């Protein structure tokens, strides 16, 4: 009778211990949940996890690894010397196909069997993390429950990590979108909105960025009552950085023009400014021209850009004289200035390579010869109509496919 009573007493003690253990586990889980809802840092969650492993579950050896760009990185560990990065990748490759918690004490590899359990965390078919735990001091009857509890706990924490990651990504996207919108506004301000059209001169333009922010740029600056300067440029790359480079370029250009800087020196100074800003990582091709209405003379420098075309007397002349692209070298190897006299009715057609290039497809691209022929045939048309018909011709040739580069045209007709 006394033996039977002792057995019942032991059973009651086991039940009490189990209930106390479950209560402690639930309390710990509740604390983790509260911490997550309070948006505590990820490191705090890791520290709370380690405390639960050590104090509640009596785990002596622990590793938590998270997937990041196709590799697993250890974010928490205690007990013994941490395995090498290569060994941890080996463990991941060896055990993740199992997809469920597994006792690994009998595994043939000594690196793996130094732990008791492998516990993975999956989302659908993708492994997000895994845990290695060893040297439990739990009662054998409670061991499976402890493993299940660890898996639940790790799942909750990994979900919290993923939510933090998604939140940061959303903030990054929103911040990037705001930066894009700001860069678009900056770029819109850079492009002249009101171009002259009078008894002396007609100026027309088309500007179509391939992306929301393009790398093309043009400007028209009245220097004095007799002279004006125009510029067409293309910065390497696209996006926000290209827009910022162009904003700085325009500010420098306008400052130098206001100082009546000679054209060849202006190009050299612009090269220095761009090189110092980008350290040679970016470059700009550009065409700069100055026209004097009294002398009817054009002075120009072509810095590695598509040659501007002058249509007059039923002929087309390519304006190629100049130098190399700017920003690629600390000093330009040479700078030459071109000079040309314009007749009444002359057209100067300036453009970027988005006009004649299309994704490397020659049959869908307008060649320079095709462009010259088109301009000769349509030279008597209004500049705006000429531009629209050229764009229409390009759209048909490209089967109305989306442009693969920015498209910029700036045309001047001298009366």
Please identify, among 169, 201, 217, the residue that sits at the C-terminal boundary of a domain.
169
Non-local (6+) Cβ contacts of 13 within 8 A are none
- DSSP for 348-405, written as a single string: EEEE-TTTT--TT-GGGS--HHHHHHHHHHHTTS-HHHHHHHHHHHHHHHTTTPPPSS
Would you say residue 182 lies in a domain? no
**Domain end position, chosen among 138, 169, 200:** 169
322-323/297-303 β-pairing:
parallel
Q: How far apart are CA 212 and CA 178, in angstroms?
A: 12
Tell me, yes or no, whether 186 lies in a domain: no
Which structural domain, as residue segments, surrounds residue 162? 2-169
* Poorest-pLDDT segment among 38-47, 249-258, 288-297: 38-47
Residue 155 burial (CB < 10 Å; 0-12/13-18/19+)? middle
pLDDT of 171 over the 90 cut: no
pLDDT at 153: 87
Judge if 273 and 374 occupy the same domain: yes
In order, the DSSP letters of 178-222 are: HHHHHHHHHHHHHS-S---BSSSEEEEEEEE-SSSS-SEEEEEEE
Indicate the SS3 state at residue 150.
helix
Question: Is residue 174 in a domain?
Answer: no
Same domain (yes/no): 161, 226: no
Instruction: Give the per-residue pLDDT at 161.
Output: 85
119 and 234 in a single domain? The answer is no
Residue 155 belongs to a domain: yes
Across 38-47, 86-95, 115-124, 144-153, the highest mean pLDDT is recorded for 86-95
What pLDDT sits at residue 274?
A: 93
Mean pLDDT score, 158-176: 81
Higher per-residue confidence, 327 vs 394 = 327
Pair (61, 11) in one structural domain: yes
Identify whether residues 349 and 217 lie together within a single domain. Answer: yes
Higher pLDDT pick, 4 / 414: 414
Contact 78, 155 (CB under 8 A): no
Contact partners, residue 83, CB within 8 Å, separation at least 6: 63, 91, 111
Average pLDDT of the chain, as a whole number = 85
DSSP 8-state symbol, 56:
I
Q: Judge if 165 and 263 occupy the same domain.
A: no
Residue predicted with more confidence, 36 or 350? 350
Q: Are residues 207 and 335 in the same domain?
A: yes
Residues 277 and 243 in one domain: yes
pLDDT score at 173: 82
Is 371 found in the same domain as 242?
Answer: yes
pLDDT of residue 14: 59
Q: Residue 368's pLDDT band (boundaries 50, 70, 90)? A: confident
Asked whether residue 184 is domain-assigned, the answer is no
* Residue 361 and residue 261 share a domain: yes
Token pair listed for 307 = 């040659």
pLDDT value at residue 15: 62
Q: Tell me if 253 is assigned to some domain.
A: yes
Identify the residue whose tokens are 């860069």. Answer: 183
CATH code for position 280: 3.60.40.10
Judge whether 212 lies within some domain. Answer: yes
- The upper half-sphere exposure of residue 214, i.e. CA atoms within 13 Å in the direction of its Cβ, equals 21
The reported pLDDT for the residue numbered 1 is 47
In CATH, what number is assigned to the domain containing residue 119? 3.30.450.40
Q: What is the pLDDT of residue 33?
A: 83
CB 147 within 8 A of CB 103: no
268 or 30, higher pLDDT: 268
Residues 151 and 197 in one domain: no
Residue 327: band (very low, low, confident or very high) from pLDDT cuts 50, 70, 90: very high
Whether residue 217 sits in one domain with residue 163 = no
Output the six-digit token pair for 43: 């490191």
What's the whole-number mean pLDDT along residues 30-52?
85
Helices 239-258/263-278 angle, 10° precision: 150
Q: Is residue 402 part of a domain?
A: yes
- Domain tally, the chain: 2
């Amino acid at each position: 009778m006394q033996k039977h009573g002792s057995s019942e007493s032991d059973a009651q003690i086991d039940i009490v211990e189990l209930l106390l253990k479950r209560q402690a586990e639930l309390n710990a889980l509740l604390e983790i949940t509260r911490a997550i809802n309070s948006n505590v840092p990820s490191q705090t969650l890791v520290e709370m996890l380690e405390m639960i492993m050590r104090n509640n579950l009596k785990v002596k050896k622990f590793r938590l690894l998270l997937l990041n760009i196709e590799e697993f990185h250890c974010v928490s560990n205690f007990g013994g010397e941490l395995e090498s990065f290569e060994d941890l990748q080996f463990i991941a490759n060896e055990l993740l196909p199992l997809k469920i918690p597994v006792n690994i004490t009998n595994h043939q590899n000594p690196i793996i069997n130094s732990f008791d359990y492998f516990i993975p965390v999956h989302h659908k078919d993708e492994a997000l993390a895994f845990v290695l735990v060893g040297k439990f001091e739990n009662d054998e009857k409670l061991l499976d429950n402890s493993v299940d509890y660890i898996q639940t706990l790790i799942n909750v924490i990994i979900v919290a990590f993923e939510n933090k990651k998604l939140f940061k990504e959303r903030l990054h996207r929103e911040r990037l979108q705001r930066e894009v919108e700001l860069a678009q506004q900056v770029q819109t301000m850079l492009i002249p909105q009101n171009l002259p059209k009078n008894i002396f001169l007609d100026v027309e333009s088309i500007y179509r960025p391939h992306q929301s922010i393009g790398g093309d740029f043009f400007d028209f600056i009245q220097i004095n009552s007799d002279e004006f300067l125009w510029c067409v440029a293309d910065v390497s790359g696209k996006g926000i950085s290209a827009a910022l480079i162009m904003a700085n370029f325009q500010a420098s250009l306008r400052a130098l023009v206001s100082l009546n800087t000679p054209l060849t020196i202006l190009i050299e100074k612009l090269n220095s400014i761009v090189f110092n800003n980008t350290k040679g990582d970016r470059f700009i091709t550009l065409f700069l021209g100055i026209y004097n209405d009294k002398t009817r003379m054009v002075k120009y420098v072509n810095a590695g850009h598509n040659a501007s075309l002058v249509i007059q007397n039923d002929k087309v002349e390519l304006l190629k004289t100049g130098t190399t692209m700017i920003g690629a070298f600390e000093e330009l190897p040479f700078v030459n200035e071109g000079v040309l006299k314009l007749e009444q009715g002359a057209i100067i057609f300036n453009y970027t390579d988005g006009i004649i290039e299309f994704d490397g497809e020659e049959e869908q691209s307008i060649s320079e010869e095709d462009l010259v022929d088109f301009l000769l045939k349509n030279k008597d048309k209004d500049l705006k109509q000429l531009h629209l018909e050229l764009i229409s011709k390009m759209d048909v040739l490209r089967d109305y496919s989306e442009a693969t580069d920015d498209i910029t045209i700036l045309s001047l007709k001298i009366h």
